[in-house]
């Protein structure tokens, strides 16, 4: 049942195409963020210097790269991995299949529409809220793991060739993701067993996005500023078109992907687990006039039954917990009941201490 704040999401799937066909047509209001936000759409011209690591080297012990990785996670919360071992054939198929999917007629894609009160499926908006501005993009979001949490009839209804390609891609990414989660955990002093207990057979979700070209890209956003509420996100810029930006010291910096690398973003959950040692990076997507952009994000989270909270092995009298604890299942519900808004979900988990209130945990 949809909650009272949720209503049938507004579908505007054809609107972006119409505008693209008639470049003189004004951009409809529903896509234009409030003035305050609009002022910040201006981006810095310098690209963010995102460090890149060789994944095989990172995962082989002993290696000398790890301290650079940990510095990157503390300062940026974002890094690239090359030599990741995912076969070129899988990535090529992914590009072809995603292009085919987003090129399907509107009526075909509508079969996968997100339903009121749900968050899985196809649509423009990430939340089903009346007041949420619509970003310039079409998206498909779903749970991949554990299998019994997949939405019945959603994945199964996708074209077979897309399904097979996605399964091959997820299989490869799961291995990479678990390897990364382990070394990232070790980087803050967690035992591998503790990392596995939280993240093994975790909740994995994915979002495929198509950002169509926009005749007036200065007044819209492809994706509203947010941090990912995940352990880590592995992002692949499927057709090589750029648009991702990160917020560093109040400035929006464009991110340039190495063509053969994935981008890894530390999410809010890893910031919480590391008790604030790592940083989840706020990011957004801008669009352009000429070319559509395709991306796929795989979100790797704790298992539904796990407790999201600062790792118990890190907490002591000298290092008190900075965040509340919550079962993953509830954390997810809470996340999807909110609008996307920078790092507000993480801030909601932060323990607020005042001089009069030390018992807030
Ligand atoms: O499309 C991108 O590059 C970013 C996507 C993203 O941030 C997300 O899906 O959460
Ligand atoms: Fe994101």
Give the pLDDT of residue 4: 35
CA of 355 to the centre of ligand 2 (A): 35
Q: Whose CA is nearest to atom 8 of ligand 1?
A: 297
CA dihedral sign, ordered 191, 192, 197, 202: positive
Q: How confident is the model at residue 5 (pLDDT cuts 50, 70, 90)?
A: very low
Beta-carbon contacts of 128 under 8 Å, excluding residues fewer than 6 positions away, are 2, 6, 7, 8, 9, 114, 116, 117, 118, 119
Q: Say yes or no to pLDDT of 354 above 90.
A: no
Tell me which ligand sits closest to the C-alpha of residue 244. Answer: 1
CA of 76 to the centre of ligand 2 (A): 14
Is the model more confident about 30 or about 85? Answer: 85
Could you give phi then psi for residue 264, rounded to 5 degrees? -115, 125
Looking from the CA of residue 207, the nearest atom of ligand 1 is: 9
Under a CB-based contact definition with an 8 Å cutoff, are residues 83 and 56 in contact? yes
Give the pLDDT of residue 2: 36
CA of 224 to the centre of ligand 1 (A): 10
Is the model more confident about 176 or about 219? Answer: 176
CA of 127 to the centre of ligand 1 (A): 15
CA of 315 to the centre of ligand 1 (A): 32
Q: Whose CA is nearest to atom 6 of ligand 1?
A: 297
Q: Whose CA is nearest to atom 10 of ligand 1?
A: 228
Give the pLDDT of residue 45: 72
Strand partners, 264: 79, 234
ipTM summary value: 0.99
Q: Best mutation site among 230, 283, 286, 343 for ligand 1, i.e. most ligand atoms within 8 A of its Cβ?
A: 283
Give the pLDDT of residue 78: 95
CA of 231 to the centre of ligand 2 (A): 12
- Cα–Cα distance measured from residue 177 to residue 31, given in angstroms and rounded to the nearest whole number: 34
Could you read off the pLDDT of 261-302 as tens digits, one per residue?
999 999 999 999 999 999 999 999 999 999 999 999 999 999
Going by C-alpha positions, the residue among 262, 281, 258 that lies closest to residue 270 is 281
Under a CB-based contact definition with an 8 Å cutoff, are residues 119 and 100 in contact? no
Could you read off the pLDDT of 159-194 as tens digits, one per residue?
999 999 999 999 999 999 999 999 999 999 999 999
Give the residue-averaged pLDDT of 119-145: 79
- Cα–Cα distance measured from residue 310 to residue 323, given in angstroms and rounded to the nearest whole number: 7
Tell me which ligand sits closest to the C-alpha of residue 141. Answer: 1
Ligand 1 pocket by Cβ (under 6 Å): 207, 209, 223, 228, 235, 244, 283, 285, 295, 297
């Amino acid at each position: 049942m949809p909650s009272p704040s949720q209503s049938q999401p507004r579908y505007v799937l054809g609107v972006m195409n119409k505008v693209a066909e008639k470049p003189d047509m004004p951009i409809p209001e529903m896509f234009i963020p409030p003035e305050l936000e609009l002022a910040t759409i201006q981006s810095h011209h310098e690209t963010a210097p995102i460090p890149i690591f060789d994944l095989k080297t990172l995962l082989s012990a002993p290696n000398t790269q790890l301290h650079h990785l940990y510095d990157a996670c503390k300062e940026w919360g974002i890094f690239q991995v090359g030599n990741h071992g995912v076969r070129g054939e899988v990535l090529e198929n992914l590009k072809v299949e995603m292009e085919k999917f987003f090129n399907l007629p509107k009526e075909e894609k509508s079969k996968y529409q997100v339903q009121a009160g749900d968050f899985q499926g196809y649509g423009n908006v990430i939340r089903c809220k009346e007041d949420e501005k619509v970003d310039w993009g079409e998206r498909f979001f779903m749970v991949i793991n554990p299998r019994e949490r997949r939405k019945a009839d959603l994945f199964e209804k996708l074209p077979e060739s897309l399904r097979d390609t996605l399964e091959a891609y997820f299989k490869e990414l799961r291995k990479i993701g678990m390897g990364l989660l382990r070394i990232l955990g070790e980087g803050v002093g967690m035992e591998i067993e503790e990392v596995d207990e939280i993240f093994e057979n975790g909740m994995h979700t994915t979002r495929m996005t198509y950002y169509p070209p926009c005749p007036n890209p200065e007044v819209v956003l492809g994706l509203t500023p947010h941090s990912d509420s995940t352990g880590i996100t592995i992002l692949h810029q499927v057709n090589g078109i750029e648009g991702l930006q990160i917020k560093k010291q109040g400035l929006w910096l464009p991110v340039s992907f190495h063509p053969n690398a994935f981008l890894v973003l530390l999410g809010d959950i890893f910031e919480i687990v590391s008790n604030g040692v790592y940083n989840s990076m706020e990011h957004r997507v801008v669009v352009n006039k000429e070319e559509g952009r395709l991306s796929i994000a795989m979100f790797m989270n704790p298992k539904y039954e796990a407790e999201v909270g600062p790792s118990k092995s890190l907490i002591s009298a000298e290092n008190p917990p900075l965040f509340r604890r919550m079962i993953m299942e509830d954390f997810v519900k809470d996340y999807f009941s909110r609008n996307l808004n920078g790092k507000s979900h993480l801030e909601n988990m932060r323990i607020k201490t005042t001089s009069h209130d030390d018992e807030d945990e």
